[in-house]
Amino acid sequence: MEKISIEVNADLAKAWEDASADFKKEISELIESQIKQALGRGDKEKVLKDLDELRSKMESRGLTQEILNPSDFF
């Protein structure tokens, strides 16, 4: 496995730092899947929909909408 870096706001970086190893693994796998789909199919709308679902899942685990503000990512 290789590592890649993405820029996120400070709150999200802190939340990620504090997250459990299991949570990080699960989210990393979901993100990897989304990137593969985006690069393989060029289906931006589906990727954005899937990322929205991922954001909802993360919020249900305690990450707030303020932390996950989409304007910070795009």
pTM over 0.95: no
In this prediction, residue 71 carries a pLDDT of 61
Is residue 73 within 8 A of residue 8, CB to CB? The reply is yes
Q: Is 37 within 8 Å of 47 (Cβ atoms)?
A: yes
DSSP category for residue 68? T
Identify the CA nearest to 72 among candidates 13, 3, 5. Answer: 13
Q: What is the pLDDT along the chain (74 residues), one digit of tens a residue?
A: 788 888 888 998 999 999 999 999 988 988 888 888 777 766 677 777 888 888 788 878 877 767 656 565 55
Count of CB atoms situated within 10 Å of the CB of 58 = 21
